[in-house]
Structure 1
Amino acid sequence: MENLFAKDFLTLGRQADDIRHKMWGKKTFFVRNLHLNYTNICVSKCRFCAFAKDTGDTGAYLYEIDHMVRYVEEKAPDAREIHMVGGLHPDKPFKFYTEAVHALKTAYPDKTIKAFSAVEIDYFSKISGLSVLEVLKALKTAGLEMMPGGGAEIFAPEVRSVICPEKIPAERWLEIHREAHGLGIVTNATMLYGHIENDEHKMRHLETLRALQEETGGIQAFIALSFHPENTFLKDVPPSTGVEDLKTIAVSRIVLDNVPHIKAYWVMLGEKTAQVALRFGADDLDGTVVKENITHAAGAKSSEGLTVAEMADFARSAGLIAVERDAFYNEIKVYG
């Protein structure tokens, strides 16, 4: 496929907006969700991460299972989706994670549990001695219904070896998502951009995801994640520009026309850029995202949560219609 990033900015925007309109009309989706970052203690030392801590560090924390259950009730009792990810804790056995999912699903049967990136799944396999398939089956039995798309970063090994050499390789990430799709666990997919990658790396990443989707059909949504350099080893890298953010959203919509939804993740993009992205191919604002910690640790200046009214206004002022959804994009309420 040609390098779409070399094309005219506004031409890409119109093309992506046309695809979006053909798929979803004026609908812009969002969900009431809660991010549950259950620990920041992590054995991996990803160089671009500003979130991870060692045990005993100032600010290091771990939520035990009863704390997780209380946290949901205290922070977002009306959330329809619990987005649960965290560090790779050195001491907790795999049983801790299945019991956590089970406790949350038992306490909140109407909330969808979207939990654990491919990096976490790989770690659970290592500490348990189970295969990835066995790990996923155990988590599904406990109540896991979806997986987020984190850990993909940029698939190109020459980039990955610099920014996150400790992380699983692209082939492992793809294998884990392939296994999840085979079990009927839908997933998201991501791409982290705005660091040391180039346009070719981004195109190859998107084309790889397109091929996976052709094979399995299990990717529900794609999220382009704008890198936040503050407090990382890449702190001197200038943050991505608004044009780069919007162009990346547009190219993602064009390449991934076999993936249903493209998110404008306002936590990383910022609220204003996310709103404009709705006319550059994105059809989903993710959600209210009550209390997200990982991106804010890297210097994100966006809010730590948005209201339903703010979500509806984002869509309305862009000439679109806000649709509140559940985790699987079943429509709950339309805000005209």
Structure 2
Amino acid sequence: MAALLREFCTILHVHLIAVFDLIRQLFTPHCYAKGVVNQNGHIAIVTGGASGIGFETTKKLCTNGMRVFIASRSEEEANDAIERIRRDDPEASVEWMYLDLASLMSVRRCASTFKSYDLPLHVLVNNAGVMIPPFMKTEDGFELQFQVNYLGHFLLTLLLSDLLIKTGVHNKCARIVNVSSVAHICEDLDMNNLIDRTFYGKYSSYSNSKFAIILSSYRLHQKLMTRGNHVTVNCVHPGVVNSELFHHYHWALQPLRRICAMLHVLKTPEEGSETSVYVALSTELEGNGGLYFANCVAEKSSSRTYDKCLQNELWDRSIELASVTEKELFYD
């Protein structure tokens, strides 16, 4: 009963936060990525880059001269996305590689595949995600949202960190962009019971996964900066966007979502991608990391995201859960 009550409170909290964010979107001019210059063939990976916000991010990175790898599960969906991008920009350099974030083995294979190309890596956009699905466990035994939104990206980032470190130079840092959400404010993360909850609350699980993204992003940026590496790590909230993430939203609320989209209360995926592109490419942010952005502006995330002890606890637990070896740690 207590767990049900907590989840009910989380649902209310998430929707109140969403309403507040929608009101803010209505009365705040939409900001576009500023200070973006041609990237001259620099390399980027965008997870979930074949649809929604990820597709628009991929498209804009290509437009700005990047060679982009879409990391996603569906080759058919990726090929369709590539075709649409090249229809508008025949010179776009974009290709696909397989990644299933619900499989840590797939994450390892994806990182290995990219490394076999012997390329630098200038930008990693951890964009893919799922929102409030029915309870599912991954092949690794984790709740789906925790692994797809957080743990899979955590492992992918660590496995590619050596390339990012090698690529980043003074005055031209490599960049990691982690897509989180304002819903992180509603978290109830319990470090003592991170995985084996007896009750599945899909809203709290979603909020916790987005909270974990910010905690580990801040910790990773600190580790990189302490070592003098030229790699920055930032988080973004894309806004309340009319995207495929709402696929699992309750059927009774779907008409309201469609009305909000028609009235342009919700952001379009193209608008939602602007902050990711800004953080990935803008010269205004050169060397700046450990920040949280919304509508292309740095903001404060929830106070608990700055808890150093919690950051360290989550980091150490994530290393253990993802079975990261000492060899795979860039700082050992």
Task: State the TM-score, normalized to the length of structure 1.
Answer: 0.37
The higher relative CO (CA closer than 8 Å, separation ≥ 6) is in: 1
